Structure 1
Amino acid sequence: MTAARHGAFHPLTVMEVERLTDDSVALTLRVPPELREEYRHAPGQHLTLRRGAAGGPEVRRTYSICSAAPAADGPGPGWLRVGVRLVEGGEFSTYAHKEIAAGDVLDVMVPAGRFVLDPAAAPACAHYAAVVGGSGITPVLSIASTLLAARPDARFCLVRSDRTAASTMFLDEVADLKDRYPERFQLVTVLSREEQEAGLPSGRLDEERLTGLLPALLPVGEVAGWFLCGPYGLVQGAGRALRALGVVRTRIHEEIFHVEDAAATAAPASVGAGAPAGPGALSRVTARLDGRSGTWPVQEGESLLDAVLRNRADAPYACKGGVCGTCRAFLVTGEVRMDRNFALEDEETEAGFVLACQSHPMTEEVEIDFDR
């Protein structure tokens, strides 16, 4: 089997556009037989969809796959499903809600992302859990459905927060998991702006509330992995609550969907080793991508990704905001400053990985490897 190229796009046909709520839809994409291995994905990965803009730059947006992942010993998927929440002023989400129809063809990047769970690697009788908010349910739906189907001994607890019942995505799919796995799937729903007839009282799921709630739901210390996904505030609060409850960070996995409220908290970080380039010094980046390397100058104020894109249009990226992690690369030599990082976990940055879209050279020579 030939591995999919980094950043490779292919045209996929839209099979169905399903309205989930007033402000969200699910797109189902057909994968032709010759591309099924390239679109084989792990539960929790995402797709980047691309649209050319008339008279301007193309628009790329990343959406998590909500459909279950294919079995490792079976064929690749014949279809993929993603959820798209309408964002105010969002160019691609508005396009998805108002224009995309069955039969349309979309440019879709091969799956990427490391917010994943491998059912085959799960320990015996493993217990997993997730805390999600809003559209953060999308990758976790794939994770939970894949795990429960592949491992009859596994359990999964989902704590989800939404504004109202009417705004809750994938209600039927989550209800189906409850029906299929009543003894192994636990669901706790909290509505922040609407009272429920049964269950927990309304309100935000903040750090204080989660610190008290989670131990009442399950044995926190015995959970093999926690998956936190959604807005920045929810993910950060849930992470702090879990650490306060004694959960080691290697068991906590985070993916942030909305970072507008996080920009002010993102402090630049230096990664690598070496003496910073002096004033006026010209930096050069050497990048390895799909087995080929090149060296190019980095213009003043330019990110490593933009420098590479001027010479390699196939360099992988999506959001350019430090959120999706599509442009993740290994820093081979040199030192860089990352403006923002909402995608890489501590273990990744400590191992030497950086986000090329947020990285600026601090040394005259920098080498990165997209193939690691």
Structure 2
Amino acid sequence: MARFHTLPVAAVDRLTDDSVALTLTVPPELREAYRYAPGQHLALRRQADGTELRRTYSICAPAPEPGGDGPRTLRVGVRLVDGGAFSTYALKEVNPGDELEVMTPAGRFTLDPAPGLYAAVVGGSGITPVLSIVSTLLAREPEARFCLIRSDRTTASTMFLEEVADLKDRYPERLQLVTVLSREEQQAGLPSGRLDRERLTGLLPSLLPVAEVAGWFLCGPYGLVQGAEQALNGLGVPRTRVHEEIFHVDAQASVRARTDAPAHSSVTARLDGRGGTWPVQDGESLLDTVLRNRPDAPYACKGGVCGTCRAFLVSGEIRMDRNFALEPEETEAGYVLACQSHPVTEKVELDFDR
């Protein structure tokens, strides 16, 4: 089960005018709990004006070696979001020596290092988890290669510019770096403009042998990820080779049509080895029902993006409003996002422990 622990802030590094990297110190007794796979994220929690805020941020550092004692530090990238309560706090108030409440790592946007060719299409802060994936893969697997295609507005707004350049210098033959700026012309390289479906359909085959790529990692704003997915589908890439993590989803994106819920319904949930059954109040999600009775239920974004609240649907039927976190094979296997799930039958049973 995911758990929160208080970790001290070791460093706050300014990346751009609107982004920082936070480095957190992990004490020896918690290093195993915070062992992570490349591409996973952390949920940070704080209280503000009597309200609990949780936000997820991807780990950008290489993953610890298997069999070691776990990470001594954790590093996440935070970009300022307009009106974002937590990102504003992170950029303007957090200092070295402060303490933050941090959930143990979660997420399935990951890569187990293996030989082969891999590729990523990322936009903006979508570089954060992919930076961990690329650096881990190239360090551990000498027979692996990676093509990183990144889109940013301008050079000045590009997160982890130096870190990616250092990787390119370290692995010049195994890392192919392609940068596209949407609001700034480059002296060399690709012309400026957005990376949409049409442009990617023409660009990708000219950069690498698309059919030979063992895994594609798409991360960033909803429009970019959807356009890249559609381009890969049109190029004949099997869906099983495509992995997605979406940032900054519009509130109305892909919300499914609502259906009438039963007049009286209940959810039975198993969590950390203990179960219970509770009535679902009108309009609330199954996660909210569980949280009213089990505050330790796992969640972070409540927006259908991070996947922290993933649960197995044991019985009953549900309707999910949105899903930007679960792969098709996960939903086919019976997993749901509790934060987006509403009962369709009078009785629903979830298992958070599977």
TM-score by length of 2: 0.98
3-state DSSP of counterpart to 2:164: helix
Match of 1:334 in 2: 316
Match of 1:273 in 2: none
Residue identity (%): 78
Q: Is 1:157 equivalent to 2:138 in the alignment?
A: no
Correspondence 1:16-165 to 2 at 5 A: 16-54=11-49, 56-119=50-113, 122=114, 125-165=115-155
Q: In the aligned structure 1, how far is the partner of 2:289 from the partner of 2:95?
A: 36
Letter of the structure 2 residue corresponding to residue 35 of structure 1: L
Match of 2:348 in 1: 366
2:227 to 226, 237, 245: 237
For structure 2, list consecutive stretches of 5 or more residues without a partner in the other structure: none
Match of 2:241 in 1: 251
Letter of the structure 1 residue corresponding to residue 29 of structure 2: E
Correspondence 1:3-14 to 2 at 5 A: 5-6=1-2, 8-14=3-9
Match of 2:252 in 1: 263
Q: In the aligned structure 2, how far is the partner of 1:269 from the partner of 1:287?
A: 23
Correspondence 1:337-356 to 2 at 5 A: 337-356=319-338
Q: In the aligned structure 1, how far is the partner of 2:205 from the partner of 2:257?
A: 35
TM-score by length of 1: 0.93
Q: In the aligned structure 1, how far is the partner of 2:89 from the partner of 2:202?
A: 41
Q: Is 1:317 equivalent to 2:299 in the alignment?
A: yes
Letter of the structure 2 residue corresponding to residue 46 of structure 1: H
Letter of the structure 1 residue corresponding to residue 46 of structure 2: R
- Tell me the CA shift for residue 50 of structure 1: 0.3
Q: CA 1:277/1:25 → structure 2, altered by over 3 Å: closer, same or farther?
A: closer
Match of 2:212 in 1: 222
Letter of the structure 2 residue corresponding to residue 371 of structure 1: D
Q: In the aligned structure 1, how far is the partner of 2:269 from the partner of 2:135?
A: 38
- Tell me the CA shift for residue 73 of structure 1: 1.7
For structure 1, list consecutive stretches of 5 or more residues without a partner in the other structure: 271-275
Match of 1:189 in 2: 179
Q: In the aligned structure 2, how far is the partner of 1:210 from the partner of 1:299?
A: 45
Q: In the aligned structure 1, how far is the partner of 2:179 from the partner of 2:346?
A: 52
3-state DSSP of counterpart to 1:182: coil
- Tell me the CA shift for residue 367 of structure 1: 0.5
1:286 to 256, 261, 268: 268
Superposition RMSD in Å? 1.2
Alignment: residue pair count: 354
Deviations 1:28-58 (A, max 9, x none): 000000000000000000000001112x320
Q: In the aligned structure 2, how far is the partner of 1:302 from the partner of 1:178?
A: 48
- Tell me the CA shift for residue 184 of structure 1: 0.4
Q: CA 1:46/1:341 → structure 2, altered by over 3 Å: closer, same or farther?
A: same
- Tell me the CA shift for residue 15 of structure 1: 0.2
3-state DSSP of counterpart to 2:131: helix
Q: In the aligned structure 2, how far is the partner of 1:277 from the partner of 1:355?
A: 17
Q: In the aligned structure 2, how far is the partner of 1:322 from the partner of 1:311?
A: 21
The answer to whether the 8 Å contact 1:44/1:64 transfers is yes
- Tell me the CA shift for residue 71 of structure 1: 1.0
Deviations 1:143-164 (A, max 9, x none): 0000000101100110000000
- Tell me the CA shift for residue 300 of structure 1: 1.1
Q: In the aligned structure 2, how far is the partner of 1:143 from the partner of 1:268?
A: 36
- Tell me the CA shift for residue 266 of structure 1: 2.7
Q: In the aligned structure 2, how far is the partner of 1:321 from the partner of 1:169?
A: 24
Q: CA 1:35/1:163 → structure 2, altered by over 3 Å: closer, same or farther?
A: same
Letter of the structure 2 residue corresponding to residue 22 of structure 1: D
Q: In the aligned structure 2, how far is the partner of 1:78 from the partner of 1:174?
A: 22
The answer to whether the 8 Å contact 1:268/1:337 transfers is no
Q: In the aligned structure 1, how far is the partner of 2:10 from the partner of 2:51?
A: 27
Q: In the aligned structure 2, how far is the partner of 1:277 from the partner of 1:207?
A: 37
- Tell me the CA shift for residue 265 of structure 1: 3.0
3-state DSSP of counterpart to 1:160: strand
